[in-house]
Amino acid sequence: MQKIHYDIQDNKILYTDFGDYHLAQTFECGQAFRFDRYKDGYKGFIEKQLCYITLDRDADSLPNCQKTDEGICGKNAVLTVELLHTQPTDELAVKIGQFLSLDVDYTALKNRFAKNETLARAIAFAPGIRVLNQDFFETLITFIISQNNNIPRIKQLCDRLGERYGTKVGDTFAFPTPQQMADITEQDYRDMKFGFRAKYLADAVAKVLNGEIDETTVKSLCYEDAQKYLMQIKGVGPKVADCVLLFSCRQYRSFPKDVWIKKAMAQLFPAGIPTEAEGYEGIAQQYIFHYARHTL
């Protein structure tokens, strides 16, 4: 963990001193489905607030900065989060920084990973990836939708839920809360073309609402117990549980195994996950996943 450095100016939070970061690599690597390209960056909800996120493209004109390719930055780069409908507070600045994973020392982490030659290659392919720390409920629902599905359609179905049940902020819909999804029936999901996932979604929402699945409890459990706990939900197996734990619960040893990772592991790491990734297998997984999808 490292300190989050930020400065608040009007409705913007300016983050500095966080190591490499690349917005497209981070927001389009398949971990988040609710962020869209907007102007020079990305727009989406963080901590229920509509945010416009940009990386300073002039960073390379500052001292001690590398050339930027859409925002792989050196020391003096600035990551700006503009709050489009609220005013920033210190509390929000810290929470948004945590969402963006600015409190994780990626420089140190990648240096450790890169001692493994193959892992170094995967990192070099997309060095600006970060594992975000997303909303628990939203991650649970979106990854139930993700099963046996493709990314454009996952996005489309998630957006459909927002448009029908979420709160409209400006011209954008937030992802619905459990309460906002309380009255959706299995038939409603089928009518919205969720297919066989309909009963899984109904079960997940019901279990969150009645407390059988409790966010605080999940986050207090060790990885193995947390995975079992989440798998009480119909339609949540090891892969979806691992995604929820990695992308919303900071269980960085959680290693979601999908078709791409299985292919990549067989080819790149026949002996298994390298020891250099120990404790942070899930973060290493993101570099491997991205590398595999684009090169294998």
Partner DNA sequence: CGCCAGGCTTCTA
Partner DNA sequence: TAGAAGCATGGC
| Residues 176-195: x where in contact with DNA by CB under 7 A, - otherwise, as a string | --------------x--x-x
30 vs 74 by CB, closer to DNA: 30
43 vs 290 by CB, closer to DNA: 290
Q: Which two tokens stand for residue 148?
A: 């046996």
CA 11, 17, 21, 27 torsion: positive or negative? negative
Q: Tell me the number of residues near DNA by CB under 7 A.
A: 35
Part in contact with DNA (CB under 7 A); list of ranges 27-35, 46-54, 77-85, 92-100: 27-35
260 vs 280 by CB, closer to DNA: 260
Question: Closest distance between DNA and the C-beta of residue 136, in Å?
Answer: 16
Question: Closest distance between DNA and the C-beta of residue 164, in Å?
Answer: 15
Among 29, 79, 277, 283, binds DNA (CB under 7 A): 29
88 vs 235 by CB, closer to DNA: 235
Question: Closest distance between DNA and the C-beta of residue 113, in Å?
Answer: 17
| Residues 195-234: x where in contact with DNA by CB under 7 A, - otherwise, as a string | xx-x--------------------------------x--x
Q: Which two tokens stand for residue 101?
A: 């994973």
**Identity of residue 224:** E
CA 282, 286, 287, 292 torsion: positive or negative? positive
Q: Which of residues 228-287 bind DNA (CB under 7 A)?
A: 231, 234-241, 243, 256-261, 285-286
Question: Closest distance between DNA and the C-beta of residue 10, in Å?
Answer: 34
Residues 57 and 36: their CA atoms lie apart, in Å, by: 19
| Cβ contact 281:273 at 8 Å | yes
Q: What share of the chain is helix, strand, coil (3-state, %, to 5)?
A: 45, 10, 40
Q: Which two tokens stand for residue 75?
A: 């020391």
Task: Look up tokens 């966080």; give the residue.
Answer: 18
Run of H or E including 240: helix 238-248
| Residues 142-161: x where in contact with DNA by CB under 7 A, - otherwise, as a string | ----xxxxxxxx--------
Q: Which of residues 71-130 bind DNA (CB under 7 A)?
A: none
Residues 63 and 107: their CA atoms lie apart, in Å, by: 19
| Cβ contact 274:280 at 8 Å | no
Residue 194 to residues 79, 113, 135, 179: CA-CA distances in angstroms? 36, 39, 21, 20
Question: Closest distance between DNA and the C-beta of residue 233, in Å?
Answer: 7
85 vs 262 by CB, closer to DNA: 262
| Cβ contact 11:88 at 8 Å | yes
Site of interaction with DNA (CB under 7 A): 29-31, 146-153, 190, 193, 195-196, 198, 231, 234-241, 243, 256-261, 285-286, 289
